[in-house]
Structure 1
Amino acid sequence: MAAVALTKDSFQQNVESGVTLVDFWAPWCGPCKMQLPIIEELSEEMGAQAKIAKINVDEEPELASQFGVMSIPTLILFKDGQPVDKMVGLKSKDDLKSKIEGQL
């Protein structure tokens, strides 16, 4: 299952239940390009346990500002619609997986 691209219209329904990791990124961001394959791989591994999503900050500036995203990549972990963890910068798959599993 690939990471889902979210917009302000689809955001709420995607994070409102369960655990969702959201990657805030942009196509011009070098570290984001390195983070993306990690996100996709994690999405495959987690399957139905947790949702993995991404938001292009150039296309969705309102969401980026709503969650105080100042630099990218920023990854925010949501549980039942509430942000529970915020990580800035490139993160390893193991780091992200253990944070997700801690919320399941």
Structure 2
Amino acid sequence: MFRRQMIGALAGAALLAGLSANVFAADWVEPFPVKGKVTVVDFGAEWCASCPEMEALMKKLQKDYGDRAAFVTVDIDKYPGIDDKYLITSMPTQMFYDVHGEPIWVHTGALDEATLRERADILIEAAEKEKAEAAAKK
């Protein structure tokens, strides 16, 4: 049920994107979700008290996970309107995408390392299971 609510919210965000798309630089391409990888995006800002800690954690996890997942940090102040596009109402906010680029979870507030790892691992395991099933059918 949460996934349906999340996707409904993102559909609304797509409508807002049309209103705010003109504020993005013409050559800027969103670095997420990363094609073919589980992706965790952390939206933050320099003025946010807990955002530097989240950014450091995202960098640590990217190093730990390597090619198995992508951990992306986005400073909303550098991309005016991105908060409207993704319905970001407070910082930090994390969005979790599956290997197909589908949004699965959204969390507002700082997350601890164990929770970030748990959610990323769930998505990675699902992708690996799907890949194994597809290979078995061949």
Whether the aligned pair in 2 keeps the contact of 1:35 and 1:90 (CA below 8 Å) is yes
Alignment of 1:61 with 2:65, yes or no, is: no
The aligned length equals: 98
For 2:106 and 2:32, how far apart are their aligned partners in 1?
20
Greater strand fraction, Structure 1 or Structure 2: 1
Mapping of residues 21-60 of structure 1, within 5 Å: 21-60=40-79
For residue 39 of structure 1, give the secondary structure of its aligned residue in structure 2.
helix
Could you tell me the TM-score, scaled by structure 1's length?
0.83
The equivalent residue for 1:81 is 101
Q: Deviations over 1:32-73 (max 9, x none)?
A: 022121111111111110001011101123322121100000
**5+ long unaligned stretches in structure 2:** 1-24, 125-138
Whether the aligned pair in 2 keeps the contact of 1:78 and 1:84 (CA below 8 Å) is yes
Q: Which has the higher contact order (CA 8 A, sep 6+)?
A: 1
For residue 37 of structure 1, give the secondary structure of its aligned residue in structure 2.
helix
Whether the aligned pair in 2 keeps the contact of 1:20 and 1:77 (CA below 8 Å) is yes
Alignment of 1:100 with 2:120, yes or no, is: yes
CA RMSD of aligned residues (A): 1.9
Greater helix fraction, Structure 1 or Structure 2: 2
The equivalent residue for 2:28 is 9
For 1:25 and 1:76, how far apart are their aligned partners in 2?
12
User: In structure 2, do the counterparts of structure 1 residues 69 and 13 end up closer, same or farther at CA, with 3 Å as the change threshold?
Assistant: closer
Whether the aligned pair in 2 keeps the contact of 1:12 and 1:81 (CA below 8 Å) is no
